[in-house]
Amino acid sequence: MKACLLHSPAPVETNPLEFADAPDPKPGKGEVLVRVKMCGVCRTDLHVVEGELPPRKSPIIPGHQIVGVIEKLGDGAKRFQIGARVGIPWLHSTDQTCEYCRAGMENLCDHPTFTGYTVDGGYAEYAVAPEQFVYPIPETFSDDQAAPLLCAGIIGFRALRLTGIKRGGRLAFYGFGSAAHVAIQVARHWGIEVYACTRGAKHQQLALQLGAAWAGEASAEPPAKLDAAIIFAPAGELVPAALGALKKGGVVVLGGIHMSPIPSFDYNLLYQERVIRSVANNTREDGEDFLRVAAEIRIHSQVTLFPLRDANRALNDLKSDRINGSAVLDCMQ
């Protein structure tokens, strides 16, 4: 099969992914083989490619927002039929026995595997995954529209839940990329007033088009005090700014897997029971709940398509903020 291989982490400007032949994967016990049609390009892929996440496998095929069709079943796999359209997300597997899995917190599993990081992912023509960690894709979504939902959408949804925000509340997104442009559609459906704090006129304009009450620079203070904020940008310097925009008892949720250092700040920013919390991965329940909600409200992803062989270009455009919405690789080209 054709795939994009990362042999050693390097700046994306050096185009480190090699488009080459790789062995076709074979499904093991309880696994399915998926013919990849589309794979979303996520900022986490950028962290993997540039080594901000420590290398765990070499070479590695990145990509964890996979939409495709099941072509083969491994021994004992019976959840899906051949030909079923499915999605493979970031959470590839968990041990299902550690204290966190037993407590319903599999996102914190002690021995997880991750698609496109610890096991090969979807920047390829084929991928394998355990059938219990694969999602059926709602028929309401085309392949390219579905791909960004499998990480950007699910993580944004979990972040929304962790804010604890209620209908009528005020919420700010810091950074308005793939996750935020999906999450705002859920937040507006829930009756939440959204403010977009993000650099770049095109990102601000997209936020306003999707129903934001206000959009401005990330360093600007929103026009009203907030009940909660989600920081999607991997920029630690935004944490004090977000705390400063909160009402008493407000919550700042950090939506990324990697962030630059958070600067020191005065305790008064955190006082009055303000809270900072991170998001770590997701549970399968998060994904199932989100995909159901996404289908109900017919979430629309703004997508820029790239051929599989152009994965380096897609990552460069993502890093340079040239993507408005989501980048998706067409793995059939």
In the prediction, which pLDDT does 91 show? 98
Assess whether 61 and 132 both reside in one domain: yes
How many structural domains does the chain have?
A: 2
Residue environment code for 241-253, b if the CB has 16+ CB neighbours within 10 A, otherwise e:
bbbebbeeebbbb
- Looking up residue 256, the CATH number of its domain turns out to be 3.40.50.720
Distance (Å, whole) CA 146 – CA 138: 8
**Cα 16 to Cα 50, 52, 307, distances in angstroms:** 9, 14, 16
> If you ran DSSP here, which 8-state letter would residue 269 be given?
G
Q: Are residues 260 and 271 in the same domain?
A: yes
Report the pLDDT value the prediction gives residue 219, as an integer from 0 to 100: 87
With a threshold of 0.75, does the pTM exceed it?
A: yes
Q: Please say which residue of 278, 305, 321 terminates a domain.
A: 278
CATH number for the domain harbouring residue 18: 3.90.180.10
Among residues 247, 262, 278, which one ends one of the domains?
Answer: 278
27 in the same domain as 141 = yes
Is residue 40 located within the same domain as residue 162?
no
Instruction: Using alpha carbons, select from 144, 128, 116 the residue that is nearest to residue 43.
Output: 116
Q: How many CB atoms lie within 10 A of CB 316?
A: 17
CA distance linking residue 311 with residue 48, whole number of Å = 13
Do 80 and 157 fall into the same domain? no
Helices (H), 54-142: 99-102
pLDDT at 205: 96
Partners of 253 in the β-ladder: 230, 277
The whole domain housing 105 covers 2-151+282-330
| Ranges of the chain whose pLDDT falls below 50 | none
- Do 185 and 52 fall within a single domain? no
Q: According to the model, what pLDDT value does residue 30 have? A: 98
Q: What is the pLDDT of residue 303?
A: 97
* Residues 157, 145 share a domain: no
Q: Are residues 242 and 128 in the same domain?
A: no
**CA–CA gap between residue 20 and residue 35 (Å, rounded):** 17
pLDDT value at position 333? 82
**Are residues 141 and 35 part of one domain?**
yes
**3-state class of 14 per DSSP?**
helix
Same domain as 157, residue 58? no
